Amino acid sequence: MDIVEGVRKLGFRKWYEHQLVEAHAWLVTGFLALILAFALFELHNDAGGVQPRLLLLAGALASAAGGILAWLRYHHVLESTELAAQLATCPHCGTYGRLAVVCSAPQSGTAVAANPLLEDLPHLRVRCRRCEGEWRLEPPP
Ligand SMILES: [Zn+2]
C-alpha cells in the first residue's frame, strides 16, 4: 500500500504493520515457489518422455524465477518500510509514528535511480499528532 494513502487511511503505525505483513507474505510466497521449483525438478527426473520432462523443467524454472522475484520484492518492501520507520520520530517531541501527511510530491527520477528505496517513499511533509510540529519525512542526502 502506498505510504501516503496508507498513512491517511490507517495511520502510520497500522500502515507500518500492514507493510510488514505484506513483506512477509512475499517471503512465504518466495519460499513456497522455491519448494515448488524443487518438487517439479524432482518430478522432471522421474518423468518419461521428452515433452513431459520439458514441461516439468519449464515449470521448475518458472517457479524458481517467481521465487527469486518474490524474494526481491520482500527485500524492497521491507527495506523501504524500515526507511520510513526510521524517519517517523517527531524531531520536536520525540513521539514515534503518530503523524499525519500534510503534503507529498513524487521523488525525482535521479533520486530514485540513486536510491531505489525512494520509489515507495515520496517527498513527504508530515505533522505530529501530539505536538503539531511538522517535518520532512526524507532520508538525509
Ligand atoms: Zn511531536
pLDDT in tens, 42-91: 999 888 889 999 999 999 999 999 999 999 999 999 999 999 999 999 99
Q: Which structural domain, as residue segments, surrounds residue 13?
A: 3-136
Residue 106 lies in a domain: yes
Contact (CB, 8 A) for 119 and 83:
no
Ion ligand 1 residue ranges (Cβ < 5 Å): 90, 92-93, 95, 128, 130-131, 133
Contact (CB, 8 A) for 45 and 57:
no
- What whole-number distance in Å separates Cα of residue 141 and Cα of residue 10? 29
Residue 48 lies in a domain: yes
Residue 58 lies in a domain: yes
Ligand 1: distance of its center to the CA of 78 in Å? 25
Residue 113 lies in a domain: yes
Over the range 118-129, which residues count as b (16 or more CB within 10 Å of their CB) and which as e? bebbbebebbbe
- What whole-number distance in Å separates Cα of residue 135 and Cα of residue 125? 6
Residue 24 lies in a domain: yes
Residue 141 lies in a domain: no
Please give the sequence-ordered ranges of beta strands (E in DSSP) within 17-133, or none if there are none: 99-105, 123-128
Indicate the pLDDT class of residue 104, thresholds 50, 70 and 90. Answer: confident
Residue 112 has a CB neighbour count (10 Å cut-off) of 16
Give the DSSP letter of residue 135: E
The reported pLDDT for the residue numbered 105 is: 86
Residue 45 lies in a domain: yes
Query: Domain count of the chain?
Result: 1
Model confidence over 10-48: pLDDT tens digits? 999 999 999 999 999 999 999 999 999 999 999 998 888
Ligand 1: distance of its center to the CA of 64 in Å? 46
Residue 53 lies in a domain: yes
Ligand 1: distance of its center to the CA of 132 in Å? 6
